[in-house]
Structure 1
């Protein structure tokens, strides 16, 4: 007599594969996921900013960092208000805001995110500027040339 175990064979393999796909996290469809752009900030020097994007469905998060601007004193976590402005293919502006930064000590480069929002499938966004504020201090940074390797496509 042959003992048969339910869930084995071809049907079991198919069920296992389908179950794995259902349980898998959604892939990030944004491309590229990281872009660099030349940046000039307020009364600080010029340099490059790195912008990272992650997408989950229509939700997107951005992280912005640059060594151009640095902490002039200790700054606790989640202390800075950051605004990232991007342009659409139609020339409209889209803004993402957040108050999330790691703790920073004197000399640490600017690092902020996640800045969250939503995007439409197929939307194309390119960084224009970012601003951060804490207490009465504000720094405005302008992207001075197109980001590389190209705009974010969702």
Structure 2
């Protein structure tokens, strides 16, 4: 009888410790703002406004881009390889990559992502800097896009 009461006490203590651990576990980090806009120039492919949507889970982050740039031909799902380079406040860059897009009809606005990358708490990232912000490779053709404006309402700040 004594051993079953000891087991009961251990079970209650284990449950209490597990619950306390869950209560103290860090939640998923948040990025703010979740959505920003900027203007890009993609040379002969055109340009215009784009919406960037960011998410974060710990040090993993994703960015999806919906742009005014239109594909001149139909593009199948997951056929656009993309690299988004973002300037980090204080120096350096963070790079987001992937080959993820929905099927796109000819003359349809390009949507790319989610592109994956790694961030640190406190990173302030903006695609506006001296250099190519977005590089897309479509059927072997490289399309370079330069950000013409800073993100609005501001850079992505990762938690």
Return the TM-score normalized by structure 1.
0.79
Task: Name the SS of the counterpart of 1:107 in structure 2.
Answer: coil
Q: Distance in 2 between matches of 1:118 and 1:43?
A: 31
The 8 Å contact of residues 63 and 114 in structure 1, kept in 2 or not, is answered as: yes
Is the counterpart of residue 136 in structure 1 residue 136 in structure 2?
no
The 8 Å contact of residues 40 and 47 in structure 1, kept in 2 or not, is answered as: yes
Task: Name the SS of the counterpart of 1:43 in structure 2.
Answer: helix
The 8 Å contact of residues 98 and 114 in structure 2, kept in 1 or not, is answered as: yes
Q: Distance in 2 between matches of 1:28 and 1:102?
A: 27
Runs (4 or more) in structure 1 with deviation over 2 Å come to none
Return the TM-score normalized by structure 2.
0.77
Instruction: Provide the aligned C-alpha RMSD in A.
Output: 2.0
Structure with a larger share of its residues in helix = 2
The 8 Å contact of residues 45 and 70 in structure 2, kept in 1 or not, is answered as: no
Task: Name the SS of the counterpart of 2:114 in structure 1.
Answer: strand
The 8 Å contact of residues 94 and 118 in structure 2, kept in 1 or not, is answered as: no
Q: Distance in 2 between matches of 1:70 and 1:61?
A: 22
Map residues 49-88 of structure 1 onto 2, 5 A cutoff: 49-67=50-68, 69-88=69-88
Partner of residue 4, structure 2: none
How far apart are residue 27 of structure 1 and its match?
Answer: 4.4
Out of 136-145 and 32-41, give the one that drifted further: 136-145
Out of 127-136 and 49-58, give the one that drifted further: 127-136
Map residues 1-154 of structure 1 onto 2, 5 A cutoff: 26-67=27-68, 69-128=69-128, 129-154=133-158
CA offset digits 1:49-95 (Å, max 9, x no partner): 1111000111101101101x212222111111001010011221221
Unaligned runs of 5+ in 2: 1-15
How far apart are residue 137 of structure 1 and its match?
Answer: 1.6
The 8 Å contact of residues 28 and 54 in structure 1, kept in 2 or not, is answered as: no
